[in-house]
Amino acid sequence: MNGKTIVLGVSGGIAVYKAAALCSKLSQAGADVRVIMTESAARFVTPLTFQTLSRSEVAIDTFDEKEPSVVQHIDLADRADLVVIAPATANIIAKLANGLADDMLSTTLLATTAPIMVAPAMNVHMYAHPAVEHNMRTLASRGVLFIEPGTGQLACGYVGKGRLAEPEEIVRAVEQHFRESGRLAGKRVLVTAGATVERIDPVRYLTNDSSGKMGFAIAEAAVRMGAQVTLVVGRTSVPPPAGVELIRVESAQQMLDAVMSRLAAHDVIVKTAAVADYRPASQEEHKIKKSADELELKLVRNPDILQTIGQHKTHQLVVGFAAETRDLDAYAMDKLRRKRCDLLAANDVTQEGAGFGTDTNAVRLFDEHGLVEAMPLMTKREVASRLLTVIAERLEKGASPTR
Ligand code: PMT
């Protein structure tokens, strides 16, 4: 963290005492830490504690301008390489989500262009409140990074989720952020996400359970690492991340067209989307009326997008996914070879917490030589981070695509 300026925003909750340890650890790691406290934070722990640990003056009052040559909140906003809010109360999260700027911290947050990392801490019911969830989703879709609170005994007496992540965990997230940022600068990454939709008639279709979460996490991580990202998206149940070029499609054929017309312009292709292998042979113009007791639906094969990419790739590093219910490794290696992928991420979708719709996944990553990495159950964001780190390493080594 040497040479990096971290603005540490401390909002008012009992977890402020942990933020003091965080401040100390970030300073010890070499960062120039500038602390902004809200007035309520200063009622839990004195500013002097943070001043001593960061060896810099603590900012609290927007009107307390000590240095005439600068406007303090703009100066702090401009200096920051990263802003970390820990603990982040429901109030500061709401202010940031809604663009309110009525104190030093919220004003600086609106004025900065630096990445923002939020470590929430609050009562379990507050954390689960739809308004707080909505605000966090809004911020996440704008690229704000979250460090999830822990579960356990809360200061308010409840047991549940809402405890500020441990300072060591926040430091690790900060280190990872600086390690990753810029690693894919200059690279163009195309990610497909979500489920394809194959129309039967104007009101009915065939689809699957893909939520888009895995693909969105990959796109988000690629943006964070500095790549220019194109996201080709089918049907999803969560909002896409910010900072990408978003292409909406419906059917496998539309996804094929969208991907192939952009193939040459991209360096990395990640095919996370769950694509229908078959589509109805014909699409009825009008709603099918019920008549006989049985109705036969004739299906025909869809094009295999990943295989087509494998046949036409030139310099691109191509990553496929495999959703399996048995014999994961064998099917994964078979798909990798048949579809000429450079990497293939296989998930057993029958495993609890893995595959469709969940926030977590367990992935086994393969290349032409076999297993590269076995990722235990972790958040889809973490899987995305690990996957893109492997991709970045291979690009840095100038690995040539598998033929
Ligand atoms: O979206 P989430 O809810 O987060 O769920 C994530 C996920 C389970 C969808 C994801 O992790 C995953 O496994 N994606 C691949 C799903 C899939 O279609 O697997 P498959 O084994 O059927 O296909 C293998 C590969 O070929 C995939 O990269 C797929 O995109 C591609 N394919 C498949 C069929 C086809 N016609 N064209 C393709 O390109």
Residues 78/84, Cβ–Cβ less than 8 Å: no
**Phi, psi (rounded to 5 degrees) for 347:** -125, 135
Distance 194 CA to ligand 1 centre (A): 9
**Phi, psi (rounded to 5 degrees) for 230:** -110, 130
Q: Give nearest CA residue, ligand 1 atom 35.
A: 304
Q: Give nearest CA residue, ligand 1 atom 8.
A: 355
pLDDT value at 174 more than 90: yes
Tokens at 115, concatenated: 């990445």
DSSP per-residue codes, 233-279: E-B-SSPPPSSSEEEE--SHHHHHHHHHTTGGG-SEEEE-SB--SEE
pLDDT value at 402 more than 70: no
Instruction: Return the SS3 of 76.
Output: helix
pLDDT value at 403 more than 80: no
What pLDDT is stored for residue 141 in this prediction?
A: 78
Mean per-residue pLDDT, 18-25: 98
Q: Give nearest CA residue, ligand 1 atom 14.
A: 272
pLDDT value at 181 more than 70: yes
Q: pLDDT tens digit string along 99-121?
A: 999 999 999 999 999 999 999 99
Q: Give nearest CA residue, ligand 1 atom 10.
A: 272
Report which ligand 1 atom has the smallest distance to the Cα of 322: 21
In the block, residue with structure tokens 């990392």: 117
Say which of 156, 200, 242, 377 is annotated catalytic: 156
Q: pLDDT tens digit string along 384-394?
A: 999 999 999 99
Residues 123/91, Cβ–Cβ less than 8 Å: no
The whole model's pTM is what?
A: 0.85
Domains defined for the chain, CATH in brackets: 5-180 (3.40.50.1950), 188-396 (3.40.50.10300)
Q: pLDDT tens digit string along 51-99?
A: 999 999 999 999 988 888 888 899 999 999 999 999 999 999 999 999 9
Q: pLDDT tens digit string along 187-228?
A: 999 999 999 999 999 999 999 999 999 999 999 999 989 999
Of all residues in the chain, the percent with pLDDT exceeding 70 is: 99
pLDDT value at 401 more than 80: no
Mean per-residue pLDDT, 367-387: 95
Report which ligand 1 atom has the smallest distance to the Cα of 357: 3
Q: Which residue ranges have their beta carbon within 6 Å of ligand 1?
A: 210-215, 252, 271-275, 277, 302, 304-306, 320-323, 335, 347, 349, 355-357
The strand pairing partners of 238, in sequence order, are none
In testing the pocket of ligand 1, which one of 211, 259, 306, 334 has its CB within 8 Å of the most ligand atoms?
A: 306
Name which residue leads in pLDDT, 157 or 203. Answer: 203
pLDDT value at 399 more than 80: no
Distance 275 CA to ligand 1 centre (A): 6
Mean per-residue pLDDT, 229-250: 95
Tokens at 37, concatenated: 């406290």
Tokens at 271, concatenated: 């095919």
Residues 282/199, Cβ–Cβ less than 8 Å: no
Distance 324 CA to ligand 1 centre (A): 9
Mean per-residue pLDDT, 336-344: 97
What distances in angstroms separate CA 9 from CA 58, 66, 134, 258, 324, one per listed residue? 10, 19, 21, 42, 44
pLDDT value at 18 more than 90: yes
Mean per-residue pLDDT, 275-296: 96
Distance 240 CA to ligand 1 centre (A): 18
Report which ligand 1 atom has the smallest distance to the Cα of 272: 14
How many secondary structure helices (H) and strands (E) does the chain include?
14, 21
User: pLDDT band for position 235 (50/70/90)?
Assistant: very high
Mean per-residue pLDDT, 270-289: 97
Does residue 23 carry a catalytic annotation? Answer: no
Q: Give nearest CA residue, ligand 1 atom 20.
A: 322
> Residue 322: what residue type?
A
Mean per-residue pLDDT, 269-297: 96
What pLDDT is stored for residue 8 in this prediction?
A: 98
Spatial CB neighbours of 326, under 8 Å, sequence gap ≥ 6: 348, 350
Distance 393 CA to ligand 1 centre (A): 24
> Residue 79: what residue type?
R
Distance 321 CA to ligand 1 centre (A): 5
What pLDDT is stored for residue 345 in this prediction?
A: 98
User: pLDDT band for position 12 (50/70/90)?
Assistant: very high
